[in-house]
Structure 1
Amino acid sequence: MPDICRPWLLILLALSACAQSAAPPPQTAATQVAAPASARTAWWNDNRWRYHDEGEADAAYQRLLQQQSAWPEWHQVELVTLPAGLRFEMALSPGQPPERPGAFGTFDRIPDVRYVRQRLAVKVAWKPSIDRVATFEIVEPLAADTGTVGPQIDAQAGYLPGGGSQFEMKVPPAERSRHLKLVAIRPIR
């Protein structure tokens, strides 16, 4: 694509994103995110080196905006079985009951909301507010995909670099609770 076309394409993509009311969670259809220029610059500084040329890096950035994958582009799905006795943490929103856990957990200690946004790359659109962390123990072996949190571009928070640990439970939502025991809940800010 000629360099003269790129600014217009970015403007059109940004305007398209502004017309949407809110980004859906990552499991729904892909949508464009309105990204501040500083978010692109920060992503570029962290990730440009991964790609052969600027065109390839631009395409990767556009895929991130469109697909909003929880995983980095280089992630290879490999299902594992997490054993009974293993503990993990999960950030919770106000009103989210721990008896209905989300699909993603982390093996990292979650110190505060900033960590959830920056290292776990949880977008404001996905969890507008976070007030607690639940610690769970796996009581029945659990199928999961494990790996590194991929970056996100958030319309409000900007560039979220990710890099923390994560796993995605590969069981239906109604079955998650039977694999888990709630160990503790603590507030975070």
Structure 2
Amino acid sequence: MVVSAGQPGPGGLGTFDDVPNQQFVRDQLAVRTDWKGDDLLLQRYRISEGDPILVQESIIGPQMDPKLGRLPGGGTQIEIMERSDRARLIPVGPPTEIPK
């Protein structure tokens, strides 16, 4: 999952794609600059034991960014369907910087 430095917890969207750099985050994951700034980190999570959680896997569609224009998308997206299930995500190691 791509997170911002200081983000208090996991968001609702992740990816199984390798994230090589910030350009990939903007282009293939279509993460807008008004959603996340340049302080991008990669945090891996696992799901705690218990009942399964409902997720939806899809292909990311394009977005219009206020600074960069059209972000094409095309990467994979994993959406956690129930907001309360985010609390069941357990960080795997510390977040790592995403190269520019």
- TM-score between the two structures when normalised by the length of structure 2: 0.85
1:15-39 per-position Cα deviation (integer Å, ceiling 9, x unaligned): xxxxxxxxxxxxxxxxxxxxxxxxx
Tell whether the 8 Å contact from 1:113 to 1:130 is kept in structure 2 after alignment. Answer: no
1:91-110 per-position Cα deviation (integer Å, ceiling 9, x unaligned): 1112113xx10010001111
Distance 1:123 1:139 in 2: 30
Match of 1:148 in 2: 59
Higher RCO structure (Cα 8 Å, ≥6 apart): 2
Map residues 159-178 of structure 1 onto 2, 5 A cutoff: 159-172=70-83, 174-178=84-88
Distance 2:80 2:33 in 1: 22
State the AA in 1 paired with 2:96: R
Tell whether the 8 Å contact from 2:13 to 2:79 is kept in structure 1 after alignment. Answer: yes
Distance 1:157 1:144 in 2: 29
**Structure 2 portions without partners, runs of 5+:** none
**Structure 1 portions without partners, runs of 5+:** 1-89
Match of 1:181 in 2: 90
1:132-187 per-position Cα deviation (integer Å, ceiling 9, x unaligned): 10011223422012110001111211111100000110112x44122x22113211
Match of 1:69 in 2: none
Q: How many residues align?
A: 96
CA RMSD of aligned residues (A): 1.5
Within the candidate set 90, 94, 97, 2:5 is matched to 94
Tell whether the 8 Å contact from 2:57 to 2:77 is kept in structure 1 after alignment. Answer: yes
Tell whether the 8 Å contact from 2:45 to 2:90 is kept in structure 1 after alignment. Answer: yes
1:126 aligns with 2:35: yes
Tell whether the 8 Å contact from 1:152 to 1:159 is kept in structure 2 after alignment. Answer: yes
User: Identity over aligned residues, as a percent?
Assistant: 41
- TM-score between the two structures when normalised by the length of structure 1: 0.47
